[in-house]
Structure 1
């Protein structure tokens, strides 16, 4: 899902103000050097990381943490790539807030100018920036070109170019930013090949033949929606797939209760319900989590509640709760032991796809937040309170 990436100057100033003792500072004998946590160590051995996808213009991480009474283990931010100066500033502000509150940054990179714009110089600049975050105590996971199997992004449905760009980014991170992991995150296969999108693969175009995985001469729902885009086990640390409850059936945009078991069925490619038979979708969890041995993430999730409709408040709560009872079920870690991260999409925004305003939040106001917190299972992993540290390579100083 696309969202605005800006961070207002006022909020940014507030973010800097909350760093306090948690910000990198002049070294004293009592303050240790920041630890660069290896990328391979970011997935928990037990449990599921709880994360949040914040609307940075509406709420700081400090405010969200205070209201929830928990420190998210993962905080999501988006940026275009190539990075311009404003992008660097916004991403740095996000990293500052993560450093202050604890956890790790999940940075989604959107190559809006096309994959050809992801040049070696662009990749090197990115890796150096993320290395500086790692050296100041902020682990990072890079989700490059998410939903690349979709037809709505400039980097979509170009398997050869996408894999090449992903591998270039991964190689630079491996060399320059060892505290940064990679995440490969396609769109859920329901509806594939998403005919009619602005960037849909065209017959005869470079790479299109790779999408015809069953060899029948056309790209259809019977083709594998994931495999042509997979960059390889050697460069993928995490796999992820965003799963939203947009409603029960077309036309989308109605506030409706999710079907029991919908989340698990979509994750495993077994969904056959009100939205139709989607069992042609591969079993994402089994193939990439179990067979490829990768930790699985749900980088974005939430349930649609249209606020333009005149609905009883309890109905909206019931829809949200029914969905979080699935994605954050107490037994989710035992049913899906490779599932290591779930991030809630905490936005209240206009959705152009349905022409309506949607409240996706789980903590948007006190009564809703109280219900959400009361239902959070013990299997979730939250961030520890951060400790002051000196960035790696910083010049030591002594107090007068």
Structure 2
């Protein structure tokens, strides 16, 4: 039996209905998906919409959709802004690609404050909001993932590790979006934090229920020491994300999005030689996809409406890391295509 077939059969078995099936879990998720703009005609796996953050330098929404059985549910994009540059990066170059899709994906605008939190003012927020209103008018739902991973300390972003500054900038963005693009949503999206038995440092960065429409996390399976090709440990996703979900989604009744994720496959820099660890790319990525999209995950996290896959190859941490689920490894891409049968 091939590795691909064996892994798919394993995935099917994990996705089976539990003995105590509760249809209200499904209806709750469908309602939240619909309220947040995810199309029922998109790639929905066990009630969870599958989206992608494309590397727009080498691919597009149309290109990724061409290798999927159904259109992606969410498309993520990185939008830099500063007092010196309000061109919004590649936004207008990607606009026709997004608007032209028959099944419109939710547009997840990941806002990067290039000069930090104190360089951001209401006039810059208005530029973003008016661009989002343009998408809304074209039939594209929008989530503004503002100053993402703000809780990362020591800060790896120009806007990180400053709770007071983040809340001030968030308030500016939320007020502008409410005024100019009231159909768009604010997505609060910290990075996974495993401190304090997975309770993390989230609370000091939470802007408040009145301005947060959705809650999300960046959460990757990186392998041992973020350097080795090892499969994710069993239940890594639900056990680690559970405290965040319970506090900010379940208790508050807010939709939950895995707003940036992947499973890393590591190479020695600039080569096609895999680093140590021994697990194949298919094993690593299929096991992570099963963890984030399985029926068990939907049942444990009924407010979870989407997972957005980071579809890039990057040189970082003195390695070349292939994060792609599509347009890379053929077996991995076939595995993603087969998700339609779950």
In 1: Cα distance, 2:334 partner to 2:295 partner: 17
More helix by share: 2
Q: Does 1:362 align with 2:319?
A: no
In 2: Cα distance, 1:314 partner to 1:371 partner: 16
Specify every segment of 5 or more residues in structure 2 that has no aligned partner in the other structure, as ranges.
1-33, 41-45
2:192 to 188, 191, 196: 188
CA RMSD of aligned residues (A): 2.6
Moved more, 304-313 or 155-164: 304-313
* Aligned 8 A contact 1:329 1:377 in 2: no
The equivalences for 1:123-142 within 5 A come to: 123-142=125-144
Moved more, 77-86 or 126-135: 77-86
| Alignment CA distance shift 1:331-1:191 (3 Å) | closer
In 1: Cα distance, 2:323 partner to 2:219 partner: 13
User: How many Å apart are 1:115 and its aligned residue?
Assistant: 1.0
* Aligned 8 A contact 1:95 1:105 in 2: no
For 1:13-65, what per-residue CA distance to the aligned partner results, in whole angstroms no more than 9, with x for missing partners? xxxxxxxxxxxxxxxxxxxxxxxxxx954368992221001111111211111
User: How many Å apart are 1:85 and its aligned residue?
Assistant: 6.0
- Number of residue pairs matched by the alignment: 295
**TM-score, with normalisation over the residues of structure 2?**
0.79
In 1: Cα distance, 2:60 partner to 2:264 partner: 23
In 1: Cα distance, 2:340 partner to 2:279 partner: 19
The residue aligned with 2:124 is 122
In 2: Cα distance, 1:238 partner to 1:125 partner: 22
Using CA pairs below 8 Å that are at least 6 residues apart, which structure has the higher relative contact order?
Answer: 1
User: How many Å apart are 1:302 and its aligned residue?
Assistant: 1.1
* Aligned 8 A contact 1:330 1:377 in 2: no
* Aligned 8 A contact 1:362 1:372 in 2: yes
For 1:217-258, what per-residue CA distance to the aligned partner results, in whole angstroms no more than 9, with x for missing partners? xxxx9985011110111100010001101113x3x2111111
Instruction: Mark the structure with the bigger radius of gyration.
Output: 1
| Alignment CA distance shift 1:333-1:84 (3 Å) | farther
SS at structure 2 position matched to 1:67: coil
Specify every segment of 5 or more residues in structure 1 that has no aligned partner in the other structure, as ranges.
1-38, 193-220, 269-282, 379-400
The residue aligned with 2:105 is 103
SS at structure 2 position matched to 1:75: strand
